[in-house]
A and B are shown apart, each in its own frame.
Chain A
Amino acid sequence: MSGKTLFEKIWDSHMIAEREGGEALLYVDRNLLHEGPFYAFDALKREGRQVHRPLQTIAFSDHYVPTTARAMGSAGIKDGEARVMVEQLARNSRATGIVHFGLQDEEQGIMHVAGAELGLCEPGMLMGGADSHTSTNGAFGLFGFGVGASQVKHILATQTLWFSKPKNMRVTVDGTLGPLVSGKDLILAIIAQIGIDGGIGHVIEYAGSAIRALSMEGRMTVCNMTIEAGARSGMICPDQTTYDYLGNTRYGPKGDDWKAALAYWKTLPTDADARFDREVRLDGNALEPMVTWGTNQDEAIGISGRVPEPASFADPARRERAAEAQAYMQIKPGTAMRDIAVDRVFIGSCTNARIEDLRIAAKLAQGQKARVPTIVVPGSMTVKRAAESEGLHEIFLAAGFEWRDAGCSMCTGSNGDKVPSGERCASTSNRNFEGRQGRGSMTHLVSPASAVAAAVTGRLADAREIA
């Protein structure tokens, strides 16, 4: 009998029952929420149901929070509907006994940034979340997945979920990433290779020397965007990097709990003789900084490249999609990516707003000046404080960048931080869909280093040019 993968170990240890058809009832260790699934609380109330295990759910206000002028709390949110979203999560959390990191909490942040840095994500967990990017936390060697409001309701009411077992894919990246080539570039290259529907029905485990060499922040970026390849989740086996990170968190296990947890975590990595349904390989040595040219995440290319001819795609569907994307993005085939001027820059989101991202950005921004409006939105207030204690904010401010409070912000613009129609934005977020950053907005996904390069040159640029 062959060994088990990390995913199989977690699946097996959380299975309560199986039923005809193949779905399994799984136990959910922890569940993360944001303001979005208010429908779930409304429905629970309507149906007269209780939250079964409130201590296993944690809520974060992130999508609708303002990134400036927070002193007045929610009363200071001018947009009435956004205020309702922030206040009703606070009210619903309080009424049901759920821990809530609200607008004025000193540890407030994007759920996929704050949860991990506080130590709420542990190897081996099965984690549900009200957001597709819950996959981010797979960087710790857990199985994290996003669900819609109805399944959020199911988790709240039962602490379980019915799930049909995904297939298991392994993406191995060996080699050494070059200077200023980051986890973001790596995941964009992976998505470009397997396609935005290449991961449907799969959980992806990342392995190989280039993955092992990534920090926890870099690993989170990779697992975060795994969802953009259509996969259910991304995961990385826990190792010393994971344990060192968790040993320094505020709410992670302590004392005897830490010892017991660590012993358990060490049993989790994929066995040497485990089998995967699909294997994909990438050469880390060959990668350069990546940037998207289209409206899907697989429409990405190295920064030294040119906007491709739609006819260059073998698949007719991709050809058509490329032509439509280029029309929306107002760019012509053959244009050098480095010749594309941008109107603004966003450094933030659950993909790239952790302390390491801001350190890289600040290092490059040192002594430079922004040519286009640039905002830096830390992923959490904890990240914000850490950055300020290191003086990073002073570098950003001196370069003419705006320095904001934590939240999702311009990733999707739900709090009002939008890219105006017809403007082009270099963004460290994860979705370049039509209208994602605001109606008529055009998004180029880039790493934090490339975002700074775009800010100070006013065009898409290779960070190595300005370093």
Chain B
Amino acid sequence: MSAVAAFTTFTAVAAPVFQANVDTDKLIPHKFLRKPLSAGYRNFLFYDQRFAEDGSEKDFILNRAPFDKAGILLSGRNFGCGSTREGAIYALQDFGIRCVIAPSFGDIFYANCLQNGLLPVVIGDAQAEKLNAHLEAHPGAQVSVDLAAQTVTLPYGETLRFEIDAQRKEQLLKGLDDIGITQQYSTQIDQFEAAHKKRQPWLFRAQPELTDTRATLKEGVS
């Protein structure tokens, strides 16, 4: 079973990038989605905000100490809306972010977080605003997350509970990926598929016209 980094407890500097609707184009512009993971995605995060066209650093919170070492990001509503690009997650993680706190997340982004061991934490609007005000007034303030207890402890001592799907929590705590879990259901999958095929055989018909013509097409690739 292949593993995802396990998430148990985590304490780190929290950076407030407190905007609503931070979309995935903002998190990582499309031009970097062609880079191999080995290129390192750290500098692609918020690229247009962090770097000028000539590549020099701009004045953006994540470029400044202590936030350049942030491990937690606080943002506004609908964080990660837009595309399915997982590069957004890779860039956050490569920067060192292991947890994003926001009042709501884009659905696809939220799912992508769970796939990669990045913890999305939903807190209320008012609490997010209070936390933002504190982080801005106290740069470098730390936030602690305890996944098993489903709590975040804020720098002013307040502890908030957050919700997470029970099975997802279990997987994150143990660093298990979905495929290994799904394979435990292989008998049910096979049975389902056989019945489905009987009900809608046309869905499973191999279409020679579709497959054969394509197979003969050359892409200039061997």
- Asked whether, in the complex, the Cβ of B210 is within 8 Å of the Cβ of A99, the reply is yes
A84 CB within 8 Å of chain B: yes
Q: How far is the CB of A392 from the nearest CB of chain B, in Å? A: 26
A49 CB contact (under 8 Å) in B48, B179, B200, B205: B179
- With A158-B179, A162-B178, A230-B107 as known contacts, state yes or no: A39 contacts B86, CB within 8 Å: yes
Which stretch, B58-66, B77-85, B137-145, B146-154, touches the partner chain A? Answer: B77-85
Q: How far is the CB of A159 from the nearest CB of chain B, in Å? A: 8
- Asked whether, in the complex, the Cβ of A200 is within 8 Å of the Cβ of B107, the reply is yes
Query: In the assembled complex, which residues on chain B have CB atoms less than 8 Å from the CB atom of A231?
Result: 107
B156 CB within 8 Å of chain A: no
- With A197-B78, A261-B200 as known contacts, state yes or no: A147 contacts B108, CB within 8 Å: yes
Most buried by B among A42, A73, A157, A433: A433
- With A148-B89, A261-B200 as known contacts, state yes or no: A317 contacts B179, CB within 8 Å: no
- Asked whether, in the complex, the Cβ of A148 is within 8 Å of the Cβ of B108, the reply is yes
Q: How far is the CB of A325 from the nearest CB of chain B, in Å? A: 10
B48 CB contact (under 8 Å) in A87, A102, A439: A439
Within 225-275 of A, Cβ neighbours of B (below 8 Å) are at: 230-232, 250-251, 253, 257, 260-261, 264
User: Considering only CB atoms, which chain A residue lies closest to B78 in the complex?
Assistant: A197
B34 CB contact (under 8 Å) in A162, A200, A414: A414
Query: In the assembled complex, which residues on chain B have CB atoms less than 8 Å from the CB atom of A436?
Result: 25, 30
Query: In the assembled complex, which residues on chain B have CB atoms less than 8 Å from the CB atom of A284?
Result: none
- With A74-B221, A151-B115 as known contacts, state yes or no: A201 contacts B178, CB within 8 Å: no
Q: How far is the CB of A459 from the nearest CB of chain B, in Å? A: 26
Query: In the assembled complex, which residues on chain B have CB atoms less than 8 Å from the CB atom of A356?
Result: none
- With A25-B185, A132-B83 as known contacts, state yes or no: A196 contacts B25, CB within 8 Å: no
User: Considering only CB atoms, which chain A residue lies closest to B167 in the complex?
Assistant: A21
Query: In the assembled complex, which residues on chain B have CB atoms less than 8 Å from the CB atom of A230?
Result: 78, 81, 106-107
- Asked whether, in the complex, the Cβ of B188 is within 8 Å of the Cβ of A101, the reply is no
Within 276-320 of A, Cβ neighbours of B (below 8 Å) are at: 296, 317, 320
- Asked whether, in the complex, the Cβ of B26 is within 8 Å of the Cβ of A435, the reply is yes
- With A153-B179, A414-B34 as known contacts, state yes or no: A147 contacts B104, CB within 8 Å: no
> How long is the Cα–Cα vector from A317 to B125 in the complex, in angstroms?
11
> How long is the Cα–Cα vector from A196 to B105 in the complex, in angstroms?
12
A148 CB contact (under 8 Å) in B86, B181, B188, B206: B86
- Asked whether, in the complex, the Cβ of B30 is within 8 Å of the Cβ of A412, the reply is yes
Chain A contact patch, size range = 35 or more
Which stretch, A12-20, A204-212, A365-373, touches the partner chain B? Answer: A12-20
- Asked whether, in the complex, the Cβ of B107 is within 8 Å of the Cβ of A201, the reply is yes
Within 408-467 of A, Cβ neighbours of B (below 8 Å) are at: 412-414, 421, 431, 433-436, 439
A90 CB within 8 Å of chain B: yes
- Asked whether, in the complex, the Cβ of A197 is within 8 Å of the Cβ of B21, the reply is yes
User: Considering only CB atoms, which chain A residue lies closest to B200 in the complex?
Assistant: A264
Q: How far is the CB of A413 from the nearest CB of chain B, in Å? A: 7
- Asked whether, in the complex, the Cβ of B183 is within 8 Å of the Cβ of A125, the reply is no
> How long is the Cα–Cα vector from A72 to B218 in the complex, in angstroms?
11
Interface string of A146-174 (1 = CB under 8 A from B): 11111101100111101010100000000
User: Considering only CB atoms, which chain B residue lies closest to A147 in the complex?
Assistant: B84
Most buried by B among A162, A260, A261: A162
Interface string of A99-110 (1 = CB under 8 A from B): 111111100000
Query: In the assembled complex, which residues on chain B have CB atoms less than 8 Å from the CB atom of A257?
Result: 201-202, 205
B211 CB within 8 Å of chain A: yes
> How long is the Cα–Cα vector from A30 to B35 in the complex, in angstroms?
28
B130 CB within 8 Å of chain A: no
A336 CB within 8 Å of chain B: no
- Asked whether, in the complex, the Cβ of B29 is within 8 Å of the Cβ of A251, the reply is no
Query: In the assembled complex, which residues on chain A have CB atoms less than 8 Å from the CB atom of B177?
Result: 150
> How long is the Cα–Cα vector from A99 to B23 in the complex, in angstroms?
32
Q: How far is the CB of B204 from the nearest CB of chain A, in Å? A: 8
B20 CB within 8 Å of chain A: yes
User: Considering only CB atoms, which chain A residue lies closest to B34 in the complex?
Assistant: A81
Q: How far is the CB of A310 from the nearest CB of chain B, in Å? A: 13
Q: How far is the CB of A91 from the nearest CB of chain B, in Å? A: 5
- With A39-B37, A264-B200 as known contacts, state yes or no: A434 contacts B167, CB within 8 Å: no
A402 CB within 8 Å of chain B: no
Q: How far is the CB of B93 from the nearest CB of chain A, in Å? A: 12
Query: In the assembled complex, which residues on chain A have CB atoms less than 8 Å from the CB atom of B35?
Result: 81
B158 CB within 8 Å of chain A: no
- Asked whether, in the complex, the Cβ of A260 is within 8 Å of the Cβ of B165, the reply is no
- B residues whose Cβ falls under 8 Å from a Cβ of A: 2, 19-21, 23, 25-26, 29-31, 33-35, 37, 48, 53, 76-78, 81-86, 89, 104-108, 111-112, 115-116, 165-169, 177-179, 181-183, 185, 188-189, 192-193, 196, 199-207, 209-211, 214, 217-221
In the assembled complex, 7 residue pairs joining A and B whose CB atoms fall closer than 8 Å, in A order, are A29-B203, A36-B84, A101-B214, A148-B111, A196-B21, A230-B78, A413-B31
- A residues whose Cβ falls under 8 Å from a Cβ of B: 16-17, 19-23, 25, 27, 29-30, 36-37, 39, 42-43, 47, 49, 55, 64, 72-75, 81-82, 84-87, 90-91, 94, 99-105, 122, 124-125, 130-132, 146-151, 153-154, 157-160, 162, 164, 166, 196-197, 200-201, 230-232, 250-251, 253, 257, 260-261, 264, 296, 317, 320-321, 324, 412-414, 421, 431, 433-436, 439
Q: Contacts A104-B217, A147-B111 given; 5 further ones with Cβ under 8 A?
A: A29-B203, A132-B82, A148-B84, A431-B23, A433-B25
